[in-house]
Amino acid sequence: MVLIGLETTRFGVGIGRVNINIYYGSFIFVLIAISGMLIVLNLKDKPRDGKTRSIVMLISTFSGLFYGIAYGLAIYHTIIYNLESLNLYLLAFIGIFWFLSLYYGRDWKYKGILRNVITSLSFSFGLIYGASLNTLIIPVVIYLFFGAVFLLQISKDLINDCKHLERDDREKLMSIATIIGEEKSQKLSLILDILVILFLIIPMFPGFPNIFAQTFYTIITIITVIFASIAALLSFRMSNERKNYRIVKILLRCVMFLTFTAFILANF
């Protein structure tokens, strides 16, 4: 994700600076993502015995350690290479969100939703962070692609929650599906898929670096839209039938892969 954000905003930035940002930015983002996924692991319901508390404390410590190393490295990167401070503000925002989720999220009634948001954010945040390393003004296309990836991951998690609804009810996990119901979750997944399609189509209209880039993006986006449309249609027609869940999940993963491919090819 960092690479896509960096490559999209590389024009007007020296190749040496871009390469340095790739090295530092990629490593920092990996640490931030690991920190976020450790928080997701911590938010899972477990017995409140002494052993569990020790494990929770250990996971919390490592999550904070990974984030601390990432932020310290980001400060060094920003100062040594005279970068704009936007990337530090973005990482600080993530740090505050991570902290609140880590120390207050475990006792929150709707922590199942929080897990979905953190997972999606850990995955998609790299786009905006990568772009912030090259420029102070982040292009609109980055926000659109961030929205597409974020919502696509949420949609995939919704389908997964519907598939495991009985287990979540039994274990009293407050996921989106258990809160609003299976049918409404499917409709919400449909709406998110439609938004993803719109976010992918809009970047087809502004200019790309060259005609080949625009051609690549257009062709792959058409294929992606078809896959997303099929997933949306199946989500709409499932009507509490779970036989199509696996197909929808596979289609959404294909959409995510094709989305990355389209955006990478469009910026080379």
| DSSP, res 207 | -
Q: Are the C-beta atoms of 67 and 28 separated by less than 8 Å? A: no
pLDDT digits (tens, 9 = 90+) for 148-193: 889 888 888 887 777 777 766 666 667 777 777 777 777 787 788 7
pLDDT of residue 112: 80
- Predicted confidence at residue 76, as pLDDT, reads 96
Q: CB within 8 A of 27, min separation 6: which ones?
A: 73
Burial grade of 33 (CB within 10 A; 0-12, 13-18, 19 or more): buried
Query: Are 134 and 9 in contact, with CB atoms under 8 Å apart?
Result: yes
Write down the number of H helices and E strands in the chain: 11, 0
Residue in the structure block whose two tokens are 């005279």: 82
pLDDT of residue 176: 77
pLDDT tens string, the chain, 268 residues long: the values are 788 888 778 777 778 888 899 999 999 999 999 999 999 988 876 556 667 778 888 888 999 999 999 999 999 999 999 999 999 999 999 999 999 998 888 777 778 888 889 999 998 999 999 999 998 889 888 898 899 889 888 888 887 777 777 766 666 667 777 777 777 777 787 788 778 878 877 765 555 556 666 677 778 778 877 877 777 777 666 555 556 666 776 777 777 777 667 766 666 5
Answer for the pair 125, 136: CB distance below 8 angstroms, yes or no. no
pLDDT in tens, 193-203: 778 878 877 76
d(CA 127, CA 146): 6
pLDDT, residue 47, reads 54
> What pLDDT sits at residue 27?
96
Q: Which long-range contacts (CB under 8 A, 24 or more apart) does 213-221 make?
A: 213/265, 213/266, 213/267, 213/268, 214/266, 216/262, 216/265, 216/266, 217/262, 217/263, 217/265, 217/266, 220/258, 220/261, 220/262, 220/265, 221/262
